Chains A and B, each alone.
Chain A
Amino acid sequence: MRRPRLIDVSRLFFRVGVTVFGGGDPSIAILQREFYRRDWLSPEKFAIAFGLARLTPGTNVLAFCAATGWYILGLGGALAAVLAITIPASVLVVWLTQAYNLTAHSRLAQSIANALLAAAVGTMIGAALLLVGSQCKPGRWLKPVIISTGAFLLAFVARLTPLQVIAVAAIAGFFWVDPSAES
């Protein structure tokens, strides 16, 4: 794994904080994809951060940012990640609160927001498939495919909460150990 500079970590979280619409899930998808592309975080640490963030009170994506920042650069990384992703978005939300009646009815603002939301959706789907694809090796594709498909069905069809889905996956992982993959 590469160890980036604090400014690079801050810059990535800042960018995600001001450009990603649609809530926490698209932000996590884009961060996951960027960590993978930049070789900043292993899939195992990403998974721990992702799972524990669901168990942390408050806004899950912020706990996820604190965890990934902490893994990448320690406490400074955690602080930089949370501050960089929240401060610009908070300034914007104050401005939007002031200008709510203007922005809510602005066709230009709606057109840009719709396009950004569409891009966030495409990114989420791409990041999810990339995540599973990167873990599928010859002869070791069954576990990633079954667990990710099962999680999708549990969340989307059976309407389990993300926390319940993660708990089911964790139990499956506990009993389904693939020594060649986990060594």
Chain B
Amino acid sequence: MNVVVLYLLLVKATLTSFSGLASLPMVQSDFVARRHVLTDRQLNTAVAAGRIGPGPNGIYVVSIGYLVDGVPGACVGWLAMITPAFLIIPMLRFLGARAEHPRAKAVARAVLFAGAGLMLSAAVPLARDAITNPLSLGIIIASFLLIASARIDSLWVMLGAALIGVIAFQF
């Protein structure tokens, strides 16, 4: 498939969705159902590869590009994934000095507090997946305590968890 067409199809999917995997139905329609350049099995592999690795869920688009056209396709998928992100900059520029108004600040603070509530609600289903044994519960509690009470860099929390994962594998 031509890389320009690949980019246009992928960016159409990312531009018309508002979260990582919401573009999936359009990708399935364009690449599997209409153009037959991917199979459902390959689509599932792309989604799974995106979910088992680090980074946002929307990164599966890179995997789609790779499966369609190798490394050039992966680069095109990456470009299609990041393109919509920069649309936020004109919105921020528009807000500009308006953001200093007391009422705008009150709205921003309310959104900030809502963000904390949303983070907690997003943590619940992830916790259900993460708590597979007493050790994983212990990691959750330890990382919570370290993040909430100490000024420790979160990198050390992640590296410590990875090390525990390696040690747990040995037993």
Contact = CB atoms under 8 A, between A and B. Distances in A.
Interface of A is mostly: helix
B151 to A, nearest CB: 6
B85 A125 contact: no
Contacts of B131: 118
Interface string B46-60: 101111111111111
Given A48-B95, A48-B99, A97-B46, A119 B54 contact: no
B35 interface: no
Contact of B110 (A58, A82, A112, A172): A172
Contact of B164 (A104, A109, A115): A115
Interface in B102-133: 102-103, 105-124, 126-127, 129-132
Interface size bracket, B side = 35 or more
A47 B87 contact: no
B152 to A, nearest CB: 9
B154 A30 contact: yes
Contact of B144 (A122, A149, A150): A122
B81 interface: yes
Interface of A: 15, 17-30, 32-34, 37, 43-67, 70-71, 75, 78, 82-83, 85-87, 89-90, 92-94, 96-97, 100, 103-104, 107-109, 111-132, 135, 143-144, 147-156, 162-163, 165-166, 168-170, 172-174, 176-179, 181-183
30 contacts: A19-B54, A19-B158, A22-B126, A24-B19, A30-B154, A46-B115, A57-B14, A58-B85, A58-B87, A62-B56, A62-B82, A63-B88, A64-B88, A86-B55, A94-B63, A97-B45, A100-B45, A111-B169, A115-B164, A117-B136, A118-B136, A118-B137, A118-B140, A122-B141, A144-B116, A148-B120, A151-B117, A169-B113, A173-B109, A176-B106
Closest 6 CB pairs of A and B: A173-B110, A151-B117, A58-B84, A89-B55, A122-B143, A115-B165
